[in-house]
Structure 1
Amino acid sequence: MANYIFHAADSRGSADHGWLQSKHTFSFANYFNPERMQFGVLRVLNDDHVAAGQGFGAHPHDNMEIISIPLAGDLEHKDSIGNVKVIRSGDIQVMSAGTGVTHSEYNKNSDRDVKFLQIWVYPNKRNVSPRYDQLSLNPADRVNKFQQILSPNPADEGVWIHQDAWFSLGNFDAGVAQKYTFKGEHTGLYIFNLSGELLVDGYTLQTRDGLAITALQEVTITAKSAAEFLLMEVSMQS
């Protein structure tokens, strides 16, 4: 039988560091909720706003797949494996921390905030060589359809990670309904609504609401208004 867990936007954890405003879907830093530890291998879903010219200083990671999706503005990335990059709205960035990497992320702009999703996924291979990749996405490819932006396969669409996970973006006009078919085995789907109103199997998702679904093979997503959303299909076998 299908299982659903609804996460209202205002039920997320909050952090206010002045220069950083963050909302945490799952337990992170000073926000701890034993019922919000992870969804399968999806460990972190942070909705971050970073003030102009501010950012995260150099800090280490290991054995984690780290994905950044800018929603507005430009984010400058520097790391210990030699990358100095700017990721912009419309891009996706992935870093396999593996045996260990240090990186920093700063708002490249001095006149506006940068808004981005910071996502962590547990890998299915430990102690791999650290790697970095980013890709500019075509927004036309998600209009009234699902645009795959991440998968386990380097030859597939989007970036890839060391895990059975498939991410897709959608930008639907009001009234559009599409059926999403699960791509993996033993996977669940986490829907994060970026804007607008969605209807999913009787659940209404407003802006920044989330819905976790397991024990299904397909689900129909209907836009009640113009809506943008992120689908994260992930292995439930952590």
Structure 2
Amino acid sequence: MPRPFPPVEPYASGLLAVGDGQRIYWETSGNPDGRPALCVHGGPGGGGRRASRTLFDPEVYRIVLFDQRGCGRSLPRAADPATGLEHNTTHHLVADMERLREHLGVRRWLLYGGSWGSTLILAYAERHPERVSEIVLAGVTTTTPEEIDWLYHGLRRLLPGPWEAFRDALPEGERDGDLVAAYHRLLNSPEEAVRLAAARAWCAWEDAVIAHEALGRPGYYGDRTDDALLAFARICAHYFTHRAWLADG
């Protein structure tokens, strides 16, 4: 992905309490008096990739990044099995974005994101259209049941070897059903070794998929720390098992 603007560092950051014992990490960079632009990361559970700052002219934009619940620098971390995910849903994240907007004193902002981020942006914009000035989406995903099924089952037609490895990392009796639900169970196992093996297998599949995209690269997901792998995979499986709490269509 082209990086047209030079790297910038945040001039402000913090942890915002959003309820349910959750605190989300946020940061702002660029022009404090510029046009507000919120970068909404993918995953879910991917954490804010800081390189997103360089997509915006720092002289023109007030660039806001945040880590969604349970991932990145937000607390508590979903990598910890003691961290419940019952307060981590699409509706909670929409509410968090609105709290962040109010906290930063933003009236309206541009929303930028891709993949899962595009789903969350659209959900927020439908809930709070008066707070959105523009929307820029890349790699558009709406997290429908059909999309989830294609990513974790249908793509075996194009990537049979990596998909078989993804399937075969599951216990033998769970390889013929809902793979996402089976991984969800493993990623919430009381045994750390089971959780970590499942997270690594999940991210190996994600890497195999994205490596074939025009802007993808090998290791995009798998090159993270164990904690980040666990948070990402556990949150993904949690959201996709529940179809992102969104009505189809």
TM range (shorter): under 0.3
After TM superposition, the score normalised by the length of structure 2 is: 0.27
Work out which of the two has the higher radius of gyration on C-alpha atoms and give 1 or 2: 2
After TM superposition, the score normalised by the length of structure 1 is: 0.28
